[in-house]
A and B are shown apart, each in its own frame.
Chain A
Amino acid sequence: MTTESVNAGARRSLPSMSVLGPILALVILIVIGFSLNSNFLSAANITNVLARSAFIGIIAVGMTFVITAGGLDLSVGSMAAFIAGLMILVMNAALPTLGIGIPIILLGMATALIAGIVAGLINGFLITTIRIEAFIVTLGTMGIYRSLVTWMADGGTLSLDFGLRTFYRPVYFSGILGISWPIIVFALTVIVGEILMSRARFGRHCAATGSNERVAHYSNVDVNRTRLLTYAMLGMLVGVATIMYVPRLGSASASTGVLWELEAIAAVIIGGTLLKGGFGRVWGTVIGVLILSMIDNILNLTDLVSPYLNGAIQGVIIILAVILQREAKAKG
């Protein structure tokens, strides 16, 4: 009733804290990194950090939409492994007919994109139309894809034909103007994602769906379609990430993409997107991804703390990020 002005004064500080938090953390990490090792800010190291961030980053952008719309996807790591395996199988199989050249690479890329979209649609269909909890569905498909890639590799490793690998390598290792392809693709994904999230109808519909599904339904938002699209988009981005990933090692095995889903979810949460849905920001996710890979990088560059403790430090950061955001909110 009278609460017009309750929270009004303090709410103003909410965005600033939750906006500043992740950026501040990133800046502090950069300062620490530079003070410990002056090579930290060298072009080579920055390129290295960004390129390693790209896989998780591209997936995390898609994950931002899924989580904003009130969903979750645990299957992305396994999905990436499965798509990588499938891509390698298809390309190796087509090698005798197509030979080494652009067409076979395009075939591999198309395979990855289509497989990703189909896998995302399957998740989305089960969640929206069959109405099974997202956690359960994607826990199930996570196991399925992981098992499928192990089976396809017969328990070992699927390797891309050596000649093909040499031809495909530049997709990971080269680029334009010294910026490697994964970084360029990551940047493009982020820009498109940010515009989609903050300026387009789709982003608004995702936030409305995640905020209150019923209100969204009564407001003429096609809730199921919106959710389905977020999963399909995430699947497609997993495909894109895999396209960048395969040339790096040229192989896929049961251990490919392990824990990627949790890293992607962690990046999304550190970036300030609400796990329960209703609010998300793509640029925050990018900062989350950078924070996570920078910690890894700093530990590798210095011998202050054992790199084996990487996971522990990341875990602390994730919990801290959520606490900080809640503090900011509680004050509001």
Chain B
Amino acid sequence: MTGEPVLSLKGVSKSFGPIEVLHSVDLDLRAGEVLALIGENGAGKSTTMKILAGYQPPTSGRVLLDGKEVSFGSIHEGEEGGIVMIHQEFNLAEQLTVEQNIFLGREIRKGLLLDKAKMRRLTREYLDRVKCRVHPDTLVSKLSNSDKQMVEIAKALSRDARVLIMDEPTAALTGSETQVLFEQVRAMRAHGTAVLFTSHRLNEVSEIADRVTVLRDGSVVHDGPASEISEDGMATAMVGRDVSALYPEKPGHGPDREVMLRVTGLNVPGHAEGVGFDLHRGEILGVAGLIGAGRTETMEGLCGLRPASAERVEIGGEAVTIQRPSDALDRGLCYLTEDRKLRGLLLEKDLRVNLTLQALHRFGGALIDTAAEERALDKAIEDFDIRAGRRDMAVGNLSGGNQQKLLLAKVMQSEPRILIVDEPTRGIDIGTKQQIYAFLRGLADQGHGIVMISSEMQEVIGLSDRVMVMRTGRVAGMLEGDNINEDAIVRLAMGVGAVKSERVA
């Protein structure tokens, strides 16, 4: 566990233009040690990792590899030094197969030709090690996010990394997949690899990390053995204030509240069948289930975003037909996507354009009233605490948490009465989560109806007034009050009597 650091940062600072984002950071990665780097979105984790992996040079300070100062001229030199980084946004060629990706740039050759047999054998071996059951000839574009993550890890295994840097490797994984990943991490640790990873799930940090380094606003605020800091301690160090009250209090309404949305017999071909539920005024309805249970597809079908049919949909007691997104929006029903980067925001465009896109008709007539847009942006930045360096920056350069807050502000421009949020806090830090929970509860208290799809058990339990559990495209059960607990949700999600050890995703 101890010994000389393999890779370290000494007094590293990094500035982008006039803004310094890292202030004299010291960090050591040791062979056979797992270091968790945690911090809020925008604390400097990504920049730190990029400097470690040689993607970016530090503005000042030194990077030491085996005690010797290095300046990586390119990513390749970082890889030569045995440093492999797995990005949060996967670095896979979508149109190549799994096998081609694993050996991309270092194909094994026999003479002039590729040694396909050997590559196939090794690919199968690496995939087996991560318990990934995809065929080596599958195109990466056809893989799910969790399989892509496993392929990335298989690729890192093939590189025989001395230092492995992973940016939120578990964000796209289910509970059991996370365990497979951790087994691999433990094996690599035993093998003498230095591992650094980031995660917003603090229980994972406690589980796998040997050391924890906490960044806040570009400075290291805590560094020590993982055994010496509790999850609460980590959260407090990250945020700089106490966040034990993560979930706002539930008001505890009676069941007699007015029904805002009543869905009966909703079918989404290939994904959901016969889904029905009621949503009451002022309520947060959690939707739990395994990944692939059809939760997202059900709600997208309901909102006219994909083909669907329903026996009956009532909004405010009135039967409605929703065939396209505008039908839903006209009736105050709005869906916030789980995928902010691919479906939620135009990453190349600035904040203003993104904010108003969904409700552009509300800003001027035939011509857009840009002054009104600017005012709306001022208000959104204020209301949602969106922290952007400059307001005309591309939103792709915002941190995940700020993107999520902008996305929330964007759907609120349509003034929905019923808001369906899908994984509203995926990949964002605990401080921002707290803000989003408070916001959702606030909306409910103002008389909105909220449906929240979430794969985070604690979130579902902590925030929902009622929970609908889905399994293989059907409603498996509805939980209320004290019945909302992990055990009940898991049983419904897995089918009654299922083995409890499988974690709900």
Which residues of A approach B to under 8 Å, CB–CB? 1-11, 195, 199-201, 204-205, 207-208, 211-212, 214-222, 278-279
> Are the CB atoms of B346 and A215 closer together than 8 Å?
yes
13 contacts between A and B (CB under 8 A): A1-B44, A1-B46, A4-B19, A8-B17, A11-B394, A204-B360, A207-B349, A214-B343, A215-B342, A215-B344, A215-B345, A215-B346, A220-B414
A2 and B390 contact, Cβ closer than 8 Å, known pairs A211-B349, A218-B337: no
Work out how many contacts link A and B, with CB atoms closer than 8 A.
128
Closest A residue to B334 by beta carbon equals: A220
**Which 4 residue pairs across A and B have the least CB separation, nearest first?**
A9-B17, A1-B46, A5-B16, A219-B358
Q: Which of these binds chain A: B239-247, B398-406, B478-486?
A: B398-406
Would you call B122 an interface residue if the criterion is a C-beta within 8 Å of the partner chain's C-beta atoms?
A: no
Report if A7-B393 is in contact (Cβ < 8 Å); known contacts: A195-B367, A218-B305: yes
Q: Provide the bound-state CA to CA distance between A199 and B364, in Å.
A: 10
Which residue of the partner chain, among A2, A8, A214, contacts B46 with CB atoms under 8 Å?
Answer: A2
A8 touches B357 (CB 8 A): no
Given the complex, which residues of A lie within 8 Å of B392, measured CB to CB? 11
A124 to chain B, nearest CB (A): 19
Q: Are B46 and A220 in contact (CB under 8 A)?
A: no
B346 and A217 contact, CB distance less than 8 A: no
Q: Mark B41-62, 1 if CB is under 8 A from A, else 0.
A: 1111111100000000000000
B366: Cβ under 8 A from any A Cβ: yes
Q: A4-B387, A4-B389 are in contact. Are A218 and B368 (CB under 8 A)?
A: no
Are A212 and B342 in touch, CB under 8 angstroms? Answer: yes
Contact between A220 and B358, CB atoms less than 8 A apart: yes
Q: Are A2 and B44 in contact (CB under 8 A)?
A: yes
Instruction: Assess the A1–B42 pair: CB atoms within 8 A.
Output: yes
Q: In the complex the two chains form, is A5's CB within 8 Å of B329's CB?
A: no
Give the residues from 10 to 59 in chain B that come closer than 8 angstroms, CB to CB, to chain A: 16-19, 21, 41-48
- Does B326 interact with chain A (Cβ within 8 Å)? yes
**A201→B399 contact, CB < 8 A:** no
Interface hub of B45, B357, B361 (most chain A Cβ within 10 A) = B357
Q: Is the Cβ of B347 less than 8 Å from the Cβ of A8?
A: no
Supply 14 further A-B pairs (C-beta < 8 A) apart from A4-B393, A201-B360, A212-B346. A1-B44, A1-B45, A1-B46, A2-B45, A5-B17, A5-B21, A7-B16, A7-B394, A8-B397, A199-B367, A201-B364, A204-B353, A222-B326, A279-B348
Is B64 in contact with chain A by the CB < 8 A criterion?
no
Contact A8 B389 (CB under 8 A): yes
Majority secondary structure of chain A interface residues (helix, strand, loop or mixed) = helix
Return chain B residues, CB-CB under 8 Å to A278: 346, 348-349
Do the beta carbons of B398 and A4 come within 8 Å of each other?
A: yes
Bound Cα distance A278, B344 (Å):
15
Closest to B304 in A: A220
Closest to B44 in A: A2
- Which residues from 317 to 357 on chain B have a C-beta closer than 8 Å to any C-beta of chain A? 324-326, 329, 335, 337, 342-349, 353, 357
B-chain residues with CB within 8 Å of residue A212 when the two chains form the complex = 342, 346-347
- Cα–Cα, bound, A9→B20 (Å): 12
- CB of B388 within 8 A of chain A? yes
Q: Is the CB of B397 within 8 A of A3?
A: yes
Distance in angstroms between the alpha carbons of A10 and B393 in the assembled complex:
10
- Least Cβ–Cβ distance between A279 and chain B, in angstroms: 7
Residues of the A chain whose Cβ atoms lie less than 8 Å from the Cβ of B335: 218
**Quick check: B399 and A200 within 8 Å, CB to CB?**
no
Contacts of A199 in B (CB 8 A): 367-368, 370
Report the minimum CB–CB distance from A1 to chain B (whole Å).
4
Q: For the complex, give the distance between the alpha carbons of A10 and B397 in Å.
A: 13
- Pair A4/B357 contact, Cβ less than 8 Å: no
Residues of A within 8 A of B394 (CB): 7, 11
Q: How far is the CA of A1 from the CA of B47 in the complex (A)?
A: 8
Complexed CA–CA distance, A205 and B335 (Å): 19
Known: A2-B21, A215-B346. A8 touches B16 (CB 8 A): yes
Q: Are A4 and B353 in contact (CB under 8 A)?
A: no
CB of B24, distance to nearest CB on chain A (Å)? 15
B345 and chain A: residue at smallest CB distance: A215
Taking a contact as CB atoms closer than 8 A, the residue among B47, B325, B342 that contacts A220 in the complex is B325
Contact partners of B347 in chain A: CB under 8 A: 212
Contact between B19 and A5 (Cβ–Cβ < 8 Å)?
Answer: yes
A278–B348 Cα distance when bound, in Å, is 8
* Alpha-carbon distance A53/B297, docked complex (angstroms): 51
The residue that B42 contacts in the complex, of A2, A200, A208, with Cβ under 8 A, is A2
* Contacting pair A200 B400 (CB below 8 A): no
Residues of A contacting B397 with CB < 8 Å? 3-8
